[in-house]
Structure 1
């Protein structure tokens, strides 16, 4: 029955994985100004995610798994690229980072001090920031 459950699905509900990521939706240009100001006192991150991209879906799941309890207060802004294309372009312009998807930018003192994209996002260690 295990094979049939794998193919057709099991009636047993899957256990929901709790995320330690402190997701904050990034939805406006005014909010981006707040992000810049906040970065003067603490390091933050912006995760640019494409909801239609399979790679982006896999990377965001792995990213969430990699965030430990000690990083639960680290602010990570979530930017939906498809719904906020203009904002995504402004993020790239503001922090002088060429657009890629998915992409993670680490911001400190209004500058991108680190950025990466695609599967390399899963390798970044936010605890060093």
Structure 2
């Protein structure tokens, strides 16, 4: 099996995830000290794959922490993935579990081939839903 290298597109790879203040109720640490941090005007999402080493065609889960910019836990209502440069590859909707203190696990992801993939996160707080996206390149 080929091992996949993930290239972060447009966002910094976070090696220390202490981006939330000490008073925050929504922890940003993923438990391994590494992952990606995604920001919008209202939200912060940290996420990493599980297992950390991704192989093409093998199932992978995403471990996520989802917070408002004020450090409060936000509700993750959906996660999806689709191959950007291949319309024939069907979009994937991941199954969510967890949610306590903004911590989630999304399962059912499989990078069926190399190329550009977009991960979509639908986040809700105070009745408003926002979609955040992150592009990765699977080689």
**What TM-score, normalized to structure 2?**
0.24
The structure where strand makes up a greater share of residues is 2
**What TM-score, normalized to structure 1?**
0.25
Q: Which has the larger radius of gyration?
A: 1
Higher relative contact order (CA 8 A, sep 6+): 1
The structure where helix makes up a greater share of residues is 1
